[in-house]
Chains A and B, each alone.
Chain A
Amino acid sequence: MAPETKARGFVGELVDLVGAVTRAMRVTLINLFRKPVTVHYPDVTREYPDRFRGVLALVYDKETGEEACIGCRLCEYICPPQVIKVEMLKAEKRNYAKTFTLELYACEFCELCVQVCPTDAIIMMKSFDVATADRRELLFDKDRLHAVGLQFEPSWATGNLLRDMQSPPKAAKTEGAHGKAGGSE
C-alpha cells in the first residue's frame, strides 16, 4: 500500500492522519481484550516439546540396570567448549567411567555428545530447572548426573535414534544421494 503523495492538501492530510490514528488505536484496543499470552511460570509448568534440550544426565542400561557409560570419551572429544572430562576404568567384561565431570555452566546444549554416544548413556532431559546461586553446584560429577537422570523426564533424543535419523537408508539408490564421500569415518 503505497503512501499517499504529498499533494493532497491540508484537509486531505488531516483526514489521512485521523484515519491512521484511529486505525492504530483500534489495533491496541483489540489487543486489550485478547487473552494475555503470559504463562505463570513457575506456578504453571510449561509443556516441553519431545525433543527439548535440557540438562544433561547419565542413565542406566534398561535391561541390566548397570551404568550405560563405557568411558569411551567420544563425548569428551566432540564437545566444542570441552566441558566434559572422562576417565576410563577398564574391567573384564566392559569398561566404565571412573570419573565423569560435566561443567554445565559452560555447556552449549548443542546435543553433540548425545549424538556420538554409542551406548545412549548420556542424554538430555526435559527440564532446565537447575538455577542456583552458586556456580559450583553446576559442576556435575557422575553421581549428580545419574541423579538428574532419575529426577526429570528424558527427552526423545538418544545417540542411536539421532544417528538412525540421519543415516541414509542402506538399500536406497533413489536420487544418487551418495556422492563422492570425502573421507573415511
Chain B
Amino acid sequence: MTDPEARKVIELGYGGSERLTMNMGPQHPSAHGVFRAILTLEGETVAAVDAVIGYLHRCHEKLGESLTYTQYPSIASKTDYVAAMTSELAYVRAAEIVGKFEVPKRAQYLRVLVAELQRIASHCLWLGTWCLDMGGALGGGATVFLYCIRERETVLDLFEALVGARLLYGFHQVGGTRYDLPAGWTEKCRKTVDTIDQRINEYEDMLEGNAFFLVRTQGVGVISRELAQEVGISGPLIRGSGVAYDVRRAEPYSSYEDFDFKVPVETAGDCYARYRVRMQEFRESIKIVRQALDGLPEGPISSRPGVKSVGQVRVGKGEGYARVEGARGEVGCYLVADGGAKPYRMKWRGASFSNLAVLPHIIPGHKVADVVAIMGSVDPVFGEVDR
C-alpha cells in the first residue's frame, strides 16, 4: 500500500518561468558514489529533488543469511566501506548481544581505538571530497583533497601494520577481535595522531575565516531542529542542528563510558555547523585514541577460541539490535538468530540511508551549486545506502 502523500516529490510553488529537469546522474563527479538526483530547475534555483538510489545494491542482507557468523564480519566492512571498522562492529555486537557473549576488556579498548582511528580517517576523506566538490577538481578543492588524503594514508598505514589490509579489514570477530597490536605500533600511532593534530590546524587555517568558504557554507542547507528529529537523521547531521544525540553517550558500548570526551554540538544547522561538528570530532577522536593507548589493559583479545572452522559460532534463538556511532551516524544491525551457525535474518540500518531522506526537504530553494555543497556535508556513502 503506497502512500501517495509520502511518495510525492516536494516542489516549490510555481514561479512562472520555465522549468528544466536535469539529471545529476549516477555517473557524476560529485555524486559521492552512485546517486541519481533528478533536479527540477528554475533558472539556477532548484525547485524539486527526486532522489533515486539502488545502484549499488549487493544483497548484503541476503548474504547475511547465507554466510555464517565467522564469515560475515569480513563482508560487513563493505557496507560503509569508508568507515569499515564501525560497520563490522555493528554486526559483531549484534551477534554478541543475541548470543550473550562477553567481550574481554582489552578487546573493548582495541575496538574503541580502531573505531576512533577509523573516524579520523573517514572524516579526512569527507573533508577532502567535500572541498573537491566545492572547489573543483582543478582548484583549491583538489589541494585540500590531496592534503587530507595524505593524512588519511598515514592512518591507513597504521591499519595495515595492525591488520594487513588498508580499507576492508575483517578485524572483528564474535567475542572480541582477531588481531592484537604488533610491537612498536603504539609509538607509531602516537606519532601519527600528533601529526594529524597539527595538520588539522593547517586545514582550519585554509578554510575557516576564508570568505569564499564561509559564503558557500553558511546559511546553506539548514536543517531545523524539528526537521532533524522528525526525519530520523543521526550523526554529525543531527548534532549540527542542536540535538545532542551520540550513541556513544546515549547507549555506551564497548567501554566508551571509561573515556572522557566531549560530544560537539552546533545549533545553526547549516553546512558550516556540520563542518564545525566534524572538525571538533577530529580532535575528540584524537583525545580518545590517546586515552585508549594510555589505558590499554592486558589480557586476551577474544572470549572465544580462534576461528578453526566455519560453523564454529552458534548463536541461540533470539533477536537483538546493536547500534554503534559510525562516522556518518547511527549504524545498526538487527539480528534474528535461530540457534544455527547462520543468522535467520539480518537487517542493516544504514546511517546514510536515513540521512539521505532529509535531502528533498532542504535542497529546494537553493542554487545548483549548493546541491553539491549540501550533498558533501551530508556525506553519504552508498555502500550503506544500498547495501
Chains A and B are bound partners:
yes
A→B interface (CB under 8 Å): 1, 3-4, 13, 16-17, 19-21, 23-24, 26-28, 30-31, 37, 49-53, 74, 77-78, 80, 108-112, 115-116, 118, 124, 155, 157, 162-169, 172, 174-185
Task: Name the residue of chain A whose CB is nearest to the CB of B308.
Answer: A116
B→A interface (CB under 8 Å): 67, 70-72, 74-75, 99-102, 104-105, 140, 143, 147, 150, 153, 157, 160-165, 168, 170, 173, 176-180, 182, 202, 204-211, 214, 218, 272, 299-310, 312-316, 341
Residues of B close to A174: CB separation below 8 A: 299
- The SS class assigned to the B binding surface is loop
A166 and B310 contact, CB distance less than 8 A: no
Give 4 closest A-B pairs by Cβ, nearest first: A183-B314, A179-B102, A163-B306, A166-B306
Task: Name the residue of chain B whose CB is nearest to the CB of A14.
Answer: B211
Q: Considering the chains assembled together, what is the distance between the CA atoms of A1 and B314 in angstroms?
A: 52
B104 and A168 contact, CB distance less than 8 A: yes
A80 and B309 contact, CB distance less than 8 A: no
Q: Considering the chains assembled together, what is the distance between the CA atoms of A144 and B316 in angstroms?
A: 42
Q: Considering the chains assembled together, what is the distance between the CA atoms of A183 and B140 in angstroms?
A: 56
User: With A16-B209, A80-B74 given, is the CB distance from A184 to B314 under 8 Å?
Assistant: yes
B205 and A24 contact, CB distance less than 8 A: yes
Q: Considering the chains assembled together, what is the distance between the CA atoms of A175 and B103 in angstroms?
A: 10
A185 and B305 contact, CB distance less than 8 A: yes
User: With A80-B74, A111-B170 given, is the CB distance from A166 to B301 under 8 Å?
Assistant: yes
**CB-defined A-B contacts under 8 Å, sample of 15:** A1-B209, A20-B209, A27-B206, A51-B161, A78-B310, A80-B74, A112-B74, A167-B305, A168-B104, A175-B104, A177-B300, A178-B303, A179-B101, A179-B303, A185-B312
Task: Name the residue of chain A whose CB is nearest to the CB of B169.
Answer: A110
Residues of A close to B309: CB separation below 8 A: 74, 77-78, 116, 185
Residues of A close to B102: CB separation below 8 A: 176-179
A80 and B162 contact, CB distance less than 8 A: no
- Residue of B164, B180, B202, B206 near A52 (CB, 8 A) is B164
- The SS class assigned to the A binding surface is loop
Q: Considering the chains assembled together, what is the distance between the CA atoms of A110 and B310 in angstroms?
A: 14
User: With A23-B205, A165-B179, A166-B302 given, is the CB distance from A112 to B307 under 8 Å?
Assistant: yes
Q: Considering the chains assembled together, what is the distance between the CA atoms of A167 and B302 in angstroms?
A: 6
A112 and B71 contact, CB distance less than 8 A: yes
Given contacts A51-B179, A165-B179, 13 further A-B contacts (CB under 8 A): A3-B214, A23-B206, A24-B140, A24-B206, A108-B75, A110-B168, A115-B306, A162-B306, A165-B306, A166-B307, A167-B302, A168-B300, A175-B299
Task: Name the residue of chain B whose CB is nearest to the CB of A48.
Answer: B160
- Residue of B150, B164, B210, B315 near A182 (CB, 8 A) is B315
A1 and B208 contact, CB distance less than 8 A: yes
User: With A163-B307, A164-B306, A166-B302 given, is the CB distance from A51 to B210 under 8 Å?
Assistant: no
Residues of A close to B211: CB separation below 8 A: 13, 16-17, 20-21
B100 and A112 contact, CB distance less than 8 A: no
B160 and A110 contact, CB distance less than 8 A: no
Q: Considering the chains assembled together, what is the distance between the CA atoms of A178 and B104 in angstroms?
A: 8
Residues of A close to B153: CB separation below 8 A: 37
Q: Considering the chains assembled together, what is the distance between the CA atoms of A167 and B315 in angstroms?
A: 19
A74 and B306 contact, CB distance less than 8 A: no
Residues of A close to B177: CB separation below 8 A: 166
Residues of B close to A20: CB separation below 8 A: 209-211
Interface-central residue, A3, A26, A157, by most chain B CB under 10 Å: A3
Task: Name the residue of chain B whose CB is nearest to the CB of A118.
Answer: B308
Q: Considering the chains assembled together, what is the distance between the CA atoms of A16 and B147 in angstroms?
A: 24
B161 and A50 contact, CB distance less than 8 A: yes
- Residue of A37, A51, A124, A175 near B182 (CB, 8 A) is A51
Interface-central residue, A17, A118, A155, by most chain B CB under 10 Å: A17
A166 and B173 contact, CB distance less than 8 A: yes
Residues of B close to A175: CB separation below 8 A: 104-105, 299
A108 and B306 contact, CB distance less than 8 A: no
Q: Considering the chains assembled together, what is the distance between the CA atoms of A37 and B209 in angstroms?
A: 28
A182 and B209 contact, CB distance less than 8 A: no
- Residue of A13, A53, A162, A177 near B303 (CB, 8 A) is A177
A108 and B209 contact, CB distance less than 8 A: no
B100 and A180 contact, CB distance less than 8 A: yes
A167 and B313 contact, CB distance less than 8 A: no
Q: Considering the chains assembled together, what is the distance between the CA atoms of A52 and B207 in angstroms?
A: 36
Distance of B341 from chain A, by nearest CB (Å): 8
Distance of A47 from chain B, by nearest CB (Å): 10
Q: Considering the chains assembled together, what is the distance between the CA atoms of A115 and B383 in angstroms?
A: 27
